[in-house]
Amino acid sequence: MSSAKRGRATNTAQTAGPEHATPNAPPHAGRAEHAVKVELTAVLVAVAGGEPRVMTLDEGRALPSGPFELAHRSLQAGLRDWVEQQTHHPLGYVEQLYTFADKDRTGFAGPDRSGGESEARTISISYLGLTREREPSEGGWRSWYDYFPWEDHRAGAPAVIGKVIAPRLHEWAQAEKGPKRAERLERARVTFALDGHAWNDELALQRYELLYEAGLVAESCRSGAKPGEVLPGEALAGRAMFADHRRILATGIARLRAKIKYRPVVFELMPPTFTLLQLQRCVEALAGRAVHKQNFRRLVEQQELVEETGATTSEAVGRPAKLFRFRHGVVAERAVAGTKVPLTRT
Amino acid sequence: MSSAKRGRATNTAQTAGPEHATPNAPPHAGRAEHAVKVELTAVLVAVAGGEPRVMTLDEGRALPSGPFELAHRSLQAGLRDWVEQQTHHPLGYVEQLYTFADKDRTGFAGPDRSGGESEARTISISYLGLTREREPSEGGWRSWYDYFPWEDHRAGAPAVIGKVIAPRLHEWAQAEKGPKRAERLERARVTFALDGHAWNDELALQRYELLYEAGLVAESCRSGAKPGEVLPGEALAGRAMFADHRRILATGIARLRAKIKYRPVVFELMPPTFTLLQLQRCVEALAGRAVHKQNFRRLVEQQELVEETGATTSEAVGRPAKLFRFRHGVVAERAVAGTKVPLTRT
DNA sequence: GGATATATGCTCAATGTGAGTATAGTTATG
DNA sequence: CATAACTATACTCACATTGAGCATATATCC
């Protein structure tokens, strides 16, 4: 066996053959490959002013992104390059979200959608990044509830769900019949907590996808809108984004909401010292729901994730609060173990 | 603005310009892109004979995989094509795992690693698939514990951990000093449950990565082995695989072990009817640890995921067991809610 | 000096969970 | 056919977790 036949990268062998007995030959070696474009996209999150913020470009219509290039050492390195170049904001904690390649979601054909002749495939690899805002109002940061107004349940369920979303999803379900109708109704009930179902903050992506399918967000009518579907009312839709960036944002929100419940990642979003209420507000901003104050403290303290600095603060009215900092040793341990969050039942 | 400028796919615009004010222009439009190869890889899992099996090719050295092609409608569709073509096994439940692109992990240069001049980038998108084995001993299926012998704790911690892994990881840690040594020791303790730490079955990937870094698996010495690292002893290593397929497999195992604890996916692996013990054995095979029998039944029943068929079976000795089937309605609901698994403390 | 607001400590009930005991219904074997 | 061996299934118990609420402490504001 020639050494040329086992190049370093997968699939470099150019000839098909019966050499399957070689220890390391990929089973499909020799087939022709097709190149596609690879796009890196970042959901960069910070919390400031009690709001969960996401870094955007182009007047809030796009997430930081750029093509994966040969010069990049790795996917993450490529992403860091793009984000730092586009936003001048350094990237801290980063984790991969999802890789999308749906044909009809990447495009953004409007009423005048141009022909699809040069149908190049684009694969979009998305990442979640966590950081702190540096200057008070650095450009580009927007509350993610601008894009998903129905996701903020900190002061109870938003009116838009009962007044607009529920009835229109109901119409959408009625457009089907039999088991398909029942299925649509059930999806709507579970994801939007209708008819007594409990609100599940981690279903942010499923909710967006449901609205997309039902034709209730602006992105629906770009290319995938089926005839007969309800068309979007701007009041409902929340802010739209370029291509499938809002879907990627929803994926990031869902992932982060799930993650804060079992891994101590809130730290990445907090200043060096903070009060327990600030920490709670941060969690509430992300989860989009209220947290039981006393139980939150109990949890944080019993997990030994924080320690007192000795100092106190009295920036607002009321009894001054102790300042805490994270215990980096414990945080590192727990990065692999568990952390939880106590919610309020109502 | 010309319609040519807003093609359907992301980044088709070829000229840079000041048109940032257009509603949908990607912020980096106009930059040159670089093509890379995209590889789809499947971790296809079944449970048979009380063992968790994974579908392999090439004498167990590779996972089913193939390049993403223009003809594929989507990433999943491409994956299904490849798997069905290579294994003749239909694919049921599928979920995306991770997208890898590390330069020094995709290759497999042995002692005679060929030059890296044509350094094409390969991105590898991996998926987890769940099915049932069809015929008794269809080719290609192997126990995943052949690849990760240290992961099977159903009959207690495997001897290899105490006898081989722990001492060699200790040596590896001693090669560093100061905080780095402490860090290595702590990683070893937490992931391999040394010094009284509890075994966490979901850390399969972290364990493999640790062994890889420590030079204790065969894959370590292909390209990334640093001088001064311990070299692999074959007894320890478990079965090796082509390129980074074993890492992908570890990712799949970790994901599946986490998933069965909160989502009813075991169903995909079970025959239409089964006894509760069979269901338990399936979960145990996946989790790699023993489950408390009575509590397992309590959990399964209280979650109303199964219903009696009315029939009983008496294939082995002992009191005949009732046969159950999954309640597909509830399963569909819970696909979004929760399911849990009671473990045994020891 | 209230009124008001936040901080913080403590109790309680309901539920979840790991574990053990007891009993029932089979097959294998002498 | 009695008994051993084994699996199925029911029930109990101790303890940890968790959602909720009450009580008290210490500030600011008017």
Cβ atoms within 10 Å of A13's Cβ, excluding its own:
19
Highest mean pLDDT (candidates A10-14, A88-92, B46-50) = B46-50
Better-scored residue on pLDDT, B186 or A20:
B186
Cβ-contact B331, B267 below 8 angstroms: yes
pLDDT tops 50 at residue A108: no
Q: CB of B121 within 8 Å of any CB in chain A?
A: yes
Residue A337 phi/psi, 5-degree rounding, is: -100, -125
Least confident residue range of A131-140, A269-278, B91-100: A131-140
CA dihedral (B5, B9, B14, B16) positive or negative: positive
**Cα of B313 to nearest chain A Cα, Å:** 34
What pLDDT, on the 0 to 100 scale, is given for residue A89?
84
pLDDT tens, A202-254?
Answer: 999 999 999 999 999 988 876 554 544 445 444 466 899 998 999 999 999 99
Segment holding B77, helix H or strand E: helix B75-87
pLDDT digits (tens, 9 = 90+) for B225-263: 454 444 544 446 689 999 899 999 999 999 999 999 888
Contact B122 A11 (CB under 8 A): yes
pLDDT at A317 over 60: yes
- The whole-number pLDDT of residue A19 equals 32
Residues belonging to chain B: 346
Looking at chain A, the domain(s) classified CATH 1.10.10.10 span: 260-334
Q: Which residues have a Cβ under 8 Å from the Cβ of B329 and sit 6 or more positions away?
A: none
pLDDT above 50 for B9:
no
Q: Does the structure show a pLDDT above 50 at B16?
A: no
Q: b vs e for B104-125, b when ≥16 Cβ sit within 10 Å of the residue's Cβ?
A: ebbbbbeeeebeeeeebbbbbb
Q: For residue A247, give both structure tokens.
A: 């879907």
| Domain(s) of CATH 3.90.79.10: residues in chain A | 37-145
On the question of pLDDT at B54 being above 90, the answer is yes
Percent of chain B whose predicted confidence (pLDDT) is above 70:
75
Confidence of residue B336 (pLDDT cuts 50, 70, 90): low
User: Which residues in B188-205 are b (16+ Cβ under 10 Å) and which e?
Assistant: bbbbbbbeeeebbbbbbb
Identify all chain A residues contacting B4, using CB atoms and an 8 Å cutoff: 114
Task: Report the chain B residue with the minimal C-alpha distance to residue A338.
Answer: B200
Q: Is the CB of B196 under 7 A from strand C?
A: no
Side chain identity at A47, as an amino acid letter? V
Residue B297: enclosing H or E segment and its boundaries?
helix B293-302
Lowest mean pLDDT of A33-37, B89-93, B97-101, B113-117, name the range.
B113-117
- Please state, in angstroms and rounded to a whole number, the distance separating the CA atoms of residues A317 and A307: 23
Superfamily of chain region B37-110+119-145: Nucleoside Triphosphate Pyrophosphohydrolase (3.90.79.10)
Backbone region of residue B26 per phi and psi (left: phi > 0; alpha: psi in -120 to 50; beta: other values): beta
Interatomic CA distance for residues B118 and A301, integer angstroms: 55
The whole-number pLDDT of residue B251 equals 98
For A46-105, the pLDDT digits (tens) are 999 899 999 999 999 999 999 988 778 889 999 999 888 888 888 889 999 999 987 666
Please judge whether A62 and B36 are an interchain contact, meaning their C-beta atoms are less than 8 angstroms apart.
no
Report the range of poorest mean pLDDT among A122-126, B5-9, B146-150: B5-9
CATH class for the region spanning A37-145: alpha beta
Instruction: Name which of A1, A20, A24, A59 to mutate to probe chain B: the one with the most chain B Cβ atoms within 10 A of its Cβ.
Output: A24
Provide the pLDDT confidence category of residue A185 given band limits of 50, 70 and 90. very high
Whether the predicted pLDDT of A138 surpasses 80: no
Which tokens is B118 given? 């044509």
Confidence label for B221 from pLDDT (cuts 50, 70 and 90): confident
Mean residue pLDDT of chain B comes to 80
- Which nucleotide minimizes the distance between its C1' and the CA of B314? C26
pLDDT band with cut points at 50, 70 and 90 for residue B7: very low
Percent of chain A predicted with pLDDT > 70: 75
Give the pLDDT band of residue A280 (cuts 50, 70, 90): very high
d(CA B83, CA B319): 41
Stretch B285-293: mean pLDDT: 95
Q: Tell if the CB–CB gap between A3 and B112 is shorter than 8 Å.
A: yes
- Nearest residue to B198 (alpha-carbon basis) of B91, B345, B32, B1: B345
Q: What is the predicted pLDDT for the residue at A43? A: 98
Nearest CA in chain B to A330: B186
Structure-model confidence comparison of residues A123 and B329, the more confident one: A123
Which bases of chain C are contacted by protein, using any atom under 7 A from a CB?
Answer: 4-11, 17-21, 24-28
The residue with greater pLDDT, A125 or A113, is: A125
> Beta carbon of B299 within 7 Å of strand C?
yes
- Quickly count: other Cβ atoms within 10 Å of residue B14's Cβ: 11
CATH of A260-334, one of 3.40.50.2020, 1.10.10.10, 3.30.110.40, 3.30.930.10: 1.10.10.10
Please report which confidence band the pLDDT of residue A263 belongs to, taking 50, 70 and 90 as the band edges.
Answer: confident
Beta pairing class for B93-100 and A65-67: unpaired
Min mean pLDDT across A158-162, A196-200, B234-238, B272-276 is at: B234-238
**Chain B residues lying within 8 Å of A99, measured CB to CB:** 75, 96, 99, 125
pLDDT score recorded for residue A222: 67
Q: B28 to chain A: nearest residue by CA?
A: A66
Element (H, E) at A285: helix A276-287
Q: What is the pLDDT of residue A221?
A: 74
For residues A107-113, give the mean pLDDT.
Answer: 38
The more confidently predicted of residues A344 and B132 is B132
